[in-house]
Structure formats: C-alpha cells, structure tokens
Structure 1
Amino acid sequence: MKLFDNLQTKKIPKGTILLSKGDSCRSVYKVIKGCLKSYVIDKSGKEHILHFASEDWIMTDMDSFMNNKPSNIFIDAIEDSEVAFLTSSNYNDISQLDHGDLLEQNKKLVNNLITTNKRLINLLSATAEERYMDFIETYPTLIQRLPLKLIASYLGMTPEYLSDVRRKLAQK
C-alpha cells in the first residue's frame, strides 16, 4: 500500500484558504496539480512565505497535525489546484505501508528537513543573489509560474529589489 494512494482528491480554486492560523490542521496536502503556499502574517500585516508546494510536493503544519494544536500558519492555493488529502486516520494506517513506501516517505521527510535547513541558513547568511539562485534550484518549475511579489516575499526582499537582483544576474 502507498501512503498517498486511494486518498480523496479535490479541486481547489486559486485563493482558497486550506488552513488558517488558530485552526487545527486536519490534513497533509499532496499537490497533484497547481501550487500551494504556507505563510505567516506579522503584527504589521505583512505576509512572510515559508514554503511553496507544487506538483508532487506535500504541505501541512506538522506540529498542528501531529499534536492537535492550533496552527501558527496559513496555507492557501496560489493556482487552481488539485490536492490529495491525507487525514489523521489515513496517517494512523501507516503500519499498513510496505517497507519500500516507508523508505520513500522517510526520504521525502529527510529532503524536506534538508530544504528547510538550507532555507533557514540562506535567510540568515546568504546574499540576495545566492537566495534567488537557491530558489531557482529548489523550485525550477515555479520561476515562470509565480508573480515576482510572491517570490520576493519568500526570499525576504521587496519585489523592486528582486528585480534589481535579477537584472544584475542577467548582466553577468
């Protein structure tokens, strides 16, 4: 049995909020088609994007999902999307998974941790150019699909500064 086989899927229109801060996260979302984003909103109302999930990526608030705590993040669709929903009852059936699928899911979890750690290190110590190049490496299919405003938010810079970074890199 595969973890994401035979799960309920749903078409999600662009702009649909799947999880709001304060709600309990009841699902892990696997993107079949489209793109989701997770983000926080600071006290001044500014949005800070944490992650994107496009085709074959998963997204959730793991702390909320696993520990039944209020979520600290928002998740919404930034494109018309199709998403598979892994619920806690599906997740509790993990003992039904074959060894190969457990290894595959473990590899995906490790890759997620690596990506998150790399992102944190980049935000703390990389130049704007390095952060942008890492974004291209991490999300190669999204560079043409997302508005600069969203990419800039993810990278921790203004859209105008991102335009300058792109211009400088194009001149090299």
Structure 2
Amino acid sequence: MFEILFEHINRKISLQEAEMEQLKTFFIPKKYRRKQYVLQQGDPCKYIVFVEKGMLRSYQVDDKGNEHIVQFAPEGWWISDSYSFLTGTPASYDIDVLEEAEVLLITQPAMEEMLQAIPAMERYMRILMQNSLISMQRRIACTLTTQAEERYLGFIAENPHIGQRVPQHMLASFLGMTPETLSRVRKQLLKKS
C-alpha cells in the first residue's frame, strides 16, 4: 500500500525518501468490501480518504429516495465530506464502496501534524484544493449550460476509466439526468456512428 499515493504526490511535488517514510505514519490503511459504508449521512466525517484500489462514490438521497451522486473516486483520487471534516458537523453525504477497496485514511489532527512535519505537503494539499475548486466550477457550469449528450460525451472523454466501471443508473445520477435519458443519448450516439 502507499504506491498509488506516492505516485500521485510525486506528480505534483517532490518528497525525500525520509519524508515518504514519515508520511506513512499519518495514514490508517483500511480495506472495505463492496457496498460497505465509509461515511453515512448524519455522522461526523472523521477522515479524508485516498483510494489505493477500488472505487468509492459520494452521494445524497433526496426526500423521494433518489440518489444524487456528486463524486466517483477510483484509484488515485481523494474523497470526503469536506465541510463535515473541517467543521465536525454531521455529514451531508453518504460515501460507499462500489468495488472492493483499499484506502488510506487521515484524520484532521493527523493532517495538521503531517502539514507541520512535512512542509512540502502543504503545497501538495493546496494544489489538490485548487484542482478541486476548478473541477467543481466546471461541473456546475456544464450541468447548467449543456445538453445531456454533451455532458455525457465530456464525462466519457475525461473519465473513460470511470464510465466503464459504474452502472448506467449511477452514471446518469452523476450527470444529472434520468437513466432513460442516458439510455436515449447512448442510442442516438450509436446511430450517429
């Protein structure tokens, strides 16, 4: 474990070998089974999760029982309920496991200690936050301004590895459309090609 995390970090910053060894001490390795919850809505979010293997998702369920997926997290991605994690308030999201997973968990106190002990990680976390903000803004704009077909094609172009690993109804939820709309979009695209 830690191989994917170190690859991810090394794409953004450089760490010394001793810093990488020290970094391991701040994380809790854990394995999850498929369909197991990592976080349930209403519980305080105690961890930020890095996915070494498998796939997780974050979502809310509305009053009618419909799931609204806000994030998929395959290998090399981070996932959490950031607001709950930072404030200690009840989580707004459920996070569960779509594929058997091996993850690295970090608590808020361990995160603060890590950032103090390894200053380069402060830059790494800032880069992650900037990328997350950009991604979120792009997703909101896309959802508000594009048609279903364009949203689907954009997602598949940017995330082909995710599109092939999640059921169609979950992909539709993430894209903000019904499964029937997604099915219709896919059929129309097949006819065009």
1:145 is matched with 165
Note the 1:21-60 alignment, pairs <5 A.
21-60=41-80
CA contact (8 A) 1:40 1:74 kept: yes
Query: Could you report, residue by residue, the CA deviation over 1:10-61 in whole angstroms, capped at 9, with x for unpaired residues?
Result: 1110101111111100000100011111101111111110111111100011
Which 5+ residue runs of structure 2 have no aligned equivalent?
A: 1-18
> Partners of 1:97 and 1:91 in 2: how far apart?
10
Alpha-carbon shift at residue 105 of structure 1 (Å):
2.2
Query: Could you report, residue by residue, the CA deviation over 1:88-137 in whole angstroms, capped at 9, with x for unpaired residues?
Result: 121111111233x3322221211111111111111111110111122113
Does 1:96 find its partner at 2:117? yes
Note the 1:64-75 alignment, pairs <5 A.
64-75=84-95
Which 5+ residue runs of structure 1 have no aligned equivalent?
A: none
Alpha-carbon shift at residue 4 of structure 1 (Å):
5.9
Higher helix fraction (1 or 2)? 2
Which one is further off, 128-137 or 56-65?
Answer: 128-137
TM-score by length of 2: 0.83
Note the 1:127-138 alignment, pairs <5 A.
127-138=147-158
CA contact (8 A) 1:14 1:81 kept: yes
Alpha-carbon shift at residue 138 of structure 1 (Å):
3.5
Letter aligned with residue 24 of structure 1: P
Letter aligned with residue 149 of structure 1: H
Alpha-carbon shift at residue 70 of structure 1 (Å):
0.7
CA contact (8 A) 1:4 1:86 kept: no
Percent same amino acid among aligned pairs?
Answer: 35
Which one is further off, 58-67 or 151-160?
Answer: 151-160
TM-score by length of 1: 0.92
> Which one has the largest radius of gyration?
2
> Partners of 1:134 and 1:86 in 2: how far apart?
32
Query: Structure 1's 133 and 12: CA in aligned 2 closer, same or farther, altered over 3 A?
Result: same
2:24 is matched with 5
